[in-house]
Structure 1
Amino acid sequence: MAGKEATVYIVDCGSTMGEKSHGRSQTNLDWALEYVWDKITTTVATGRKMAFAGVVGLRTDGTENLLDNEDDYAHITVFQELGQVLMPQLRKLRQDLVVSGTDGGDAISALVIAIQMIVATCKKLQFQRRIVLVTDGRSAMQADDLGDITSKLKEDSIELVVLGVDFDDAEYGFKEEGKDATKAENEAILRQLCDDCSGVYGTLVQAVDELGVPRVKPTKPVPSYRGMLTLGNPEEYDTALAIDVERYPRTMKANPASASKFVIRSDMAAGEATQSTHTIDGEEAAPNGTNDGLAAVKTARTYQVDDENAPGGKRDVDRDELSKGYEYGRTAVHISESDQNVTLYETSPSFDILGFVNKNQYERYLDMSRSNVIVAQRTNDKASMALSSLIHALYELESYAVARLVMKQNKEPRIVLLAPNIEPDLECLYDLELPFAEDMRSYRFPPLDRVVTVSGKVLTVHRNLPNDDLQDAMSEYVDSMDLSTFGQDDAGQPAEYGAMDETYSIMLHRINQVVKHRAVYPDTDPPPPYEVLTRYSQQPSELANTAHPSLSRLIQAADVKKVPPKARGRRYGRKDAPKPLSELDVGALLAQDSKRSSKQACIDPKNAIPEFKQLLQHAEELPQLRAACAQLKAIIFDWIRHSVGDSGYGRAVEAIRVMREEMAEVSVAAAPYNEFMRELKGTMLDGGLGGERREMWYRVRVNRLGLLLAGECDGGVSEEEGRAFLSAAPVAAAAAAQ
């Protein structure tokens, strides 16, 4: 369970905050609010009821606070009392935090108001208390009671954070030139106050620059197992080993915020959608009478069975009337609830070591789960000593332990691997789940360093195997792409580039960034992703330039040649026919055959598809393409007309498919194919191909052999016309006519 926290944000809204300093396109207030909104929206996103936040406006036009009857506390307004902040309060704060027209208001007095808010709300309860002051320090401050304020901050354990607009910070390397005397004096006062109460003092430049760096979310670990780690059976043998241990997750997957489906309430007018007083469930009123007018999409599930006597042939049944059925092949095997115990494998919580394995014999690809850490039971010195002995024994023998784990009563047992870990301040066991026999899939692949022929002969020199020159070139290229020393540390020394603690999940943090921005500014476009998220999403240009010579040598050694892209439109009139790998002129060889010399321009129905392709390869003009399509069309019509049943449909469908593919590659050949398909459909549905051929048209539709579309070939038809052509309406009409 997360701890309680209470934070009060003091935001300076004076007239000087409306200026645009140091060439920024935003006002100082809008720039400062980037930090405030980020912190508040992060708190809202957690949804924790004990994560309190309050907002106090400094140098506001009005005055509204507990001490507003005193002059020292004028122009200080409490916009948000200390409590849980939700979306309605967040939208209201956006309207309240605007630049005022006054310079009156004391930041020290605002601190007093914030302290009273925390004391009145938190009392003596255990809260993490914090006050964040955001100001430009350009109004007069009364520093007479700083000693009392410091004592109160220490007494109530309140952390003070002061962030100044363009404040000097030597550690961050920022200094504002030409600063007026009042601001310089106020900076000194606030710096001394933070030093006295052990607070945090900094410049807003650093705070805003670090907003893009994701913050690690602290979580309180929850044990998944508490019990005995045993070696042997302690109930039967005195020599058995039993250690009280606790098991906690070591790593967890961070998932992005999940989306839900909502609708605008139907009982509201369109203009009232943003003023609904209903909650997400649409049943209870929201605080302060504000919400977005959304209702959650609820799911209703009904179960029906066939019943001839019920209206519509279906009858609704309750879920309680249903019974479980286990699928066995294509049959559902029913097991009643009274017999469900036969499917339950009864187990009791246990953690038993089954044996040991050498560290070098374990393969890392066997890991099946996230890692967990096993430590001794807290405040149990005997267990700590016993577990430490086991850990050191495994470490010295370079071994792992294999154990059987049952976390809860009647839970399925798991086999885990226990690995020792020894650090100066931590000794523990890491565990990972291992696969069972049915989880293993064994695949055999040919070796990469040799070629085994069919006869069993082993070849180490082959055209598919790399030679020594290629091996050296690849090794050099890999070494030139090394990232382990490409980066630099703070001292300028070579360091790892893209270290693990500097890389972040783009999807996770980008979604959080967009959601938080849209919560505050619902009508504006989201900002671009932070640079820290996309920094390692592409190869560094300096490294690519360094590795380019090695890459060139690798390309030369591997004899890499660019593969030309597939021709989108094959032009008729191409006189260079494709050459076979054997470099033989197949056309000339076939022309020497006296039996085929008279058939060079005609397609043989017994070898229709290959000869149709050959005609297209040698076609030089559009009329030749039309002639080839006309010959294949006649053959297809003949196959369908003389088909006994559906015996000839398969050949006809394949020929249509080949014609469609070939014509799609020719830039101006959509017309011959589309004309052929329209004629085929009309002739077939009119009974001109030997009677009813609806089965053939069904196969054309199933194989999606419709007209060529504009996106597939020049001169094609639109998608709407293509769908209409394949519609079933003409088929039904033809059947009715017959």
Structure 2
Amino acid sequence: MSKEATIYVLDLGSTIGDCHNGRTISDLDYGMEYVWDKIATVMSANRATLSVGVVGFRTDETDNPLDGDGEYENICVLKELGLMDIPALESLRSKIHSSNTEVGDAVSAIIVAIDLMDKYTVLKTGKPAKFARKIVLVTDGQGGIDDDNIDSIYRKLNESGIELVVLGIDFDDAGFGFKEEDKTSLKQSNEAILAKLVEGCNSGMFATMAEALASLANPSVKVVRPFKQYDGRLGLGDFEKYPDSALYIDVQRYSRVKQAKPPSASSFVSAAANATGEANAHSSHTVEDTEMMDAPGLSAVKSSVAYRVNDAAAAGGTADLQREDLAKGYYYGSTAVPFGQDEEGVTRFNSRQGFSIIGFVPNDKYERYLTMGESSITIAQPVNDKARMAMSSLVHALHELDSYAVARIVTKDGKAPQLVLLAPSIEPDLECLIDVPLPFAEDIRVYRFPPLDKIIGSSGAVITKHRYLPSNELADAMSNYVDSMDLSSFGEDESGNPAEFMTIDETFSPQVHRVNQAIRQRAIHPDANLVSEAESQLEALLKVSGVTKVPEKVKGRKGREPAKPASGLDIKALLTSRKKKNEIALENAIPEFKQMIEIANKDEDIEKATAQMGKTIRQSLHSTTGDAGHAVTFSQMKVFRDEMIDLDMPEIYNDFCHDFKKRIFAEEFGDQRNFWAAFKFQKLGLIRATGDSEGANEEEATDFFKFG
């Protein structure tokens, strides 16, 4: 059933505000850890079919629909059954606190929850709707419980199809291995009453809160509906052309393993800034912001795309285009080759839906590194006995011969063909084929590396002992280190014998579930400090490991510490005039530019030197023609570019290149189209950003070489 309705019945009596069994938090906060986590999970699912309600008992006030004639007192409906959002969560959080009374009956609170459940999960016709109904009782068992109508209550729970879960704080649980010492007689009696109530339910659970909190460490795997990828025939041979010798099986193919991805972050902006227009990057083709009820201080960021071309006749020198007016094209070298709709059809591979086995391979001949992508499962059509018999024969034949099948599949007409490896799978109630995608020849990259255990000299001699090769002691130490990390026997089974520590079906992606946990924690506790529990250990770790803050990167001095002679004399200062030059001679541009950069003491000096070099490059291009003259200009630009990379000041060279390109196409230096055509192959384009260095992005660097 897709619809779920859950009501949490919470004990808010005065006794639940105390701390017990060595805990530093109250019993209420201890029990609410489970409730908050479950509520946050429902909120993160963002499904309209998940409803949550909260009922409190042993409260100071009485507010419930069954109140009257002195019954159902000190019971409050804290949240009606319905959707849970941030405003409702904030309202609920302010209501959950221990009261000043011990009056209030847990069983009566369950009756109130049953009444809320019946009213919410009923159709207009009066018939029950299809819901998964659950009531979760959280109590410390310190209040009085009336057990006169226990039998009628669990019969009503069974009649309404409601699952009852009782989570007791410090309740005895032999299965979990917990027993509270010095338990009061009242608590012992209440545990017995609640256990009897759960036993009478068709669907019920009685557990201690410690077990419930421990279960939160195991992420819940999302169960999805089967997704059918292919429904047709699995052939062996061409059964259409040779129906007598070829065969086929009517099969269905479903997705088996899909990659779980963590939730992605969205961009938001202050609603106040958005109202003043500060957050709008584009003013055209934008979608109006939707009001965010959960976070009124934020507004979702909307993206827009505008297509413009240079047009001297249009206002502002550019004209807007619609997406429908654009044509697809491909780059052939540096030339754009347009493709219309007719030509686009030529690039598509006209494939027909089909699934056929093209060969077999022994298990030991298949290299595991060839496996690509997500796996799927192929079964015979469930209502086709002939197909089920044929599939069983194929699966058993592959299993007995220790072989895999290689198949070609096209899931739909026009889809790209895929090669898959079919492996047999035999289970008591299922015989099927499990497949994984295989690479084509273009997907395989073969790299050759030198061997790790020997060195082959230039003469062909094999060297087994070398300073670059591990010694026997190092190899043994590494072997022991790897063996010490073996998880196949690190765990223990029920008998205490070595067992596998991390089985695949119990291993979850830490990235996916850690991000989900962090989101739930921040949503439920938005003002809580981070890493408060491990702060002292973290400080100790930082102190012992000597972690220090990396100073901010200083531009302009990268790699510029000159080597000092042993005598202490500055030889360059003795041999070179330290008089700063204001201009660079065209005939000796490269050495003089390097000298100006070398003796520069501040950024202003570097900017003056680069300005002079840019002027010299423009003069060089203007005064020379032909390939020989262009070579001089290229050499000057190469030195200019290398120096700016070394100084980590790419913006100076990139700004020069943009200005230089504008001057070339404005024909300031005459017709230099041949120069620009040759320039594109000199690797002198914009300096790109790499790592922590600034520079042009990939798109900007590519667009720079376009004409115009």
TM-score, with normalisation over the residues of structure 1?
0.73
Question: d(CA) in 1 for partners of 2:226 and 2:437?
Answer: 19
Query: Which of 449-458 and 6-15 deviates more?
Result: 449-458
* Distance (whole Å) between structure 2 residues aligned to residue 463 and residue 179 of structure 1: 69
- Are 2:573 and 1:630 equivalent residues in the alignment? yes
1:577-726 paired onto structure 2 within 5 Å: 616=565, 619=566, 624-631=567-574, 633-634=576-577, 644-648=587-591, 652=595, 656=598, 703-704=643-644
Check if 1:218 corresponds to 2:223: yes
Query: Which residue pairs with 1:56 in the alignment?
Result: 55
Which one of the candidate residues 205, 208, 221 is aligned to 1:203? Answer: 208
**Counterpart Cα distance in 2 of 1:697 and 1:382:** 75
Q: CA deviation at 1:60?
A: 2.0
Q: Are the equivalent residues in 2 in contact too, given 1:59–1:106 (CA < 8 A)?
A: yes
Are 1:189 and 2:193 counterparts? yes
Q: How many angstroms does 1:257 deviate by?
A: 1.5
Alignment partner, residue 104 of structure 1: 103
2:327 alignment counterpart: 323
What is the Cα deviation at residue 459 of structure 1? 4.9
Q: 1:118 is aligned with what amino acid?
A: M
Q: Distance in 2 between the 1:74 and 1:292 partners?
A: 37
Map Cα deviations across residues 443-493 of structure 1 (whole Å, 9 max, x no partner).
Answer: 222334444333444455656555666655554554455333233233322
- Partners of 1:706 and 1:726 within 8 A in 2: no
**Cα deviation code 1:628-653 (max 9, x no counterpart):** 24146449989x97872435358758
C-alpha contact 1:52 1:83 (8 A) present in aligned 2: yes
Between the aligned partners of 1:686 and 1:251, the Cα distance in structure 2 is: 60
Structure 1 406/700 Cα, relative in aligned 2: closer, same or farther at 3 Å?
closer
Contact 2:171 2:207 (C-alpha < 8 Å) held by counterparts: yes
Judged with a 3 Å threshold, the aligned counterparts in structure 2 of structure 1 residues 329 and 636 are, in CA distance, closer, same or farther, namely farther
Counterpart amino acid of residue 348 in structure 1: R
Is the CA contact (8 Å cut-off) linking 1:352 and 1:403 kept in structure 2? yes
Matched residue of 1:159: which SS? strand
Name which of 374, 378, 383 aligns with 1:374. 378
Any conservation in 2 of the 1:60–1:100 contact (CA below 8 Å)? Answer: yes
| Residue 252 (1) aligns with residue 258 (2) | yes
State the alpha-carbon separation in 1 of the partners of residues 610 and 469 from structure 2: 58
Q: Distance in 2 between matches of 1:398 and 1:425?
A: 21
Query: How do residues 354-433 of structure 1 correspond to structure 2 at under 5 angstroms?
Result: 354-433=358-437
Distance 1:29 1:644, change over 3 A: same
Structure 1 residue 42 displacement after superposition? 0.4
Structure 2 equivalent of residue 342 of structure 1: 346
| Distance in 2, Cα, partners of 1:6 & 1:241 | 51
Counterpart position of 1:565: none
Residues 57 and 78 of structure 1 are in contact (CA less than 8 Å); yes or no, is this contact kept in structure 2? yes
Question: In 2, Cα distance between the equivalents of 1:473 and 1:166?
Answer: 48
Q: 2:134 aligns with which of 101, 125, 130?
A: 130
Q: Distance in 2 between matches of 1:303 and 1:679?
A: 39
CA distance in 2, matches of 1:498, 1:291: 40
The residue aligned with 2:699 is none
The residue identity in structure 2 corresponding to 1:325 is G
Distance 1:50 1:511, change over 3 A: same
Cα distance in 2 between the residues matched to 1:682 and 1:269: 41
Please tell me whether the aligned partners of residues 456 and 463 of structure 2 are also in contact (alpha carbons under 8 angstroms).
yes
Q: What is aligned with 1:306?
A: 310
> What is the 5 A alignment of 1:528-607?
none
Structure 1 stretch displaced more, 468-477 or 212-221? 468-477
> C-alpha offsets along residues 136-172 of structure 1, whole Å, 9 cap, x if unaligned?
1222222111111111222232211001122122222
- Structure-2 residue corresponding to 1:72: 71
Tell me the secondary structure at the aligned position of residue 45 of structure 1: helix
Q: Which amino acid aligns with 1:703?
A: E
- Output the CA distance in 2 between the equivalents of 1:105 and 1:197: 23
Partner of 1:490: 494
> Offset of 1:101 from its aligned partner?
2.3
**Contact map agreement 2:330 2:338 (CA 8 A) in 1:** yes
CA contact (8 A) 2:271 2:296 kept: no
1:265 aligns with 2:296: no
Alignment match, 2:176 = 172
Q: In structure 1, give the amino acid aligned to 2:256.
A: R
Offset, 1:34: 0.9
1:173-205 Cα offsets, whole Å, 9 max, x none, are 222233222222111100111112151111112
Does residue 505 in structure 1 map to residue 524 in structure 2?
A: no
Partner of 1:243: 249
Question: Equivalent residue of 1:72, what SS?
Answer: coil
Which whole-Å CA distance do the structure 2 matches of 1:692 and 1:340 have between them? 48
Deviation at 1:214, TM superposition (A): 2.3
Q: Residue type of the partner of 1:496?
A: E
Q: 2:8 maps to which residue?
A: 9
**Equivalent residue letter for 1:13:** L
CA change 1:269–1:166 in 2 (3 A) is farther
Which whole-Å CA distance do the structure 2 matches of 1:114 and 1:96 have between them?
17
| Identity fraction in percent | 44
* Counterpart contact for 2:355–2:407, Cα < 8 Å: yes
Separation of aligned partners in 2, 1:332 and 1:692 = 34
For 2:237, the equivalent position in structure 1 comes to 232
Deviation at 1:69, TM superposition (A): 2.1
1:517 corresponds to? 521
In 2, Cα distance between equivalents of 1:523 and 1:647: 60
Partner of 1:22: 21
User: Is the partner of 2:331 in helix, strand or coil?
Assistant: strand
Distance 2:607 2:372 in 1: 60
Quick one: which amino acid aligns to residue 589 of structure 2?
D
SS in 2 for 1:162: strand
1:514–1:527 CA contact under 8 A, matched in 2:
no
Aligned CA distance change for structure 1 residues 460 and 523 (closer, same or farther; 3 Å):
closer
CA displacement 1:386-424 (0-9 Å, x = unmatched): 111101111111111111111123111111111112233
3-state SS, counterpart of residue 405 of structure 2: strand
> Could you tell me how far apart the structure 2 residues matched to 1:122 and 1:681 are?
76
- TM-aligned CA deviation for residue 81 of structure 1: 2.1
Residue 694 of structure 1 deviates from its aligned partner by 10
Deviation by residue 1:217-276 (Cα, 9 ceiling, x = unmatched): 323331222222111223233332222222222222211121111223349999xxxxxx
Tell me the residue number matched to 2:668: none
Q: Give the match's secondary structure for 1:212.
A: coil
Consecutive unaligned residues of structure 1, counting only runs of 5 or more, are: 271-279, 539-567, 569-611, 657-672, 708-718, 733-738
CA pair 413-269 structure 1, distance change in 2 beyond 3 A = closer
Q: Residue type matched to 1:22 in 2?
A: N
Partner Cα separation in structure 2 for residue 727 and residue 427 of structure 1:
63
Cα pair distance change 1:642/1:636, threshold 3 Å: farther
Could you tell me how far apart the structure 1 residues matched to 2:59 and 2:301 are? 42
CA distance, structure 2, for counterparts of residue 329 and residue 207 of structure 1? 63
The alpha carbon displacement at 1:327 in A equals 2.0
| Number of equivalent positions | 599
Distance 1:460 1:525, change over 3 A: closer
The structure that has the greater radius of gyration is: 1
Query: Which stretch has the larger CA shift, 464-473 or 235-244?
Result: 464-473
Instruction: Give secondary structure in 1 for the equivalent of 2:304.
Output: coil
Mapped contact 1:685–1:693 kept (Cα < 8 A): no
Q: Deviations over 1:44-83 (max 9, x none)?
A: 1111111121111112222222212242212222222222
1:71–1:359 CA distance, 2 compared to 1 (3 A): same
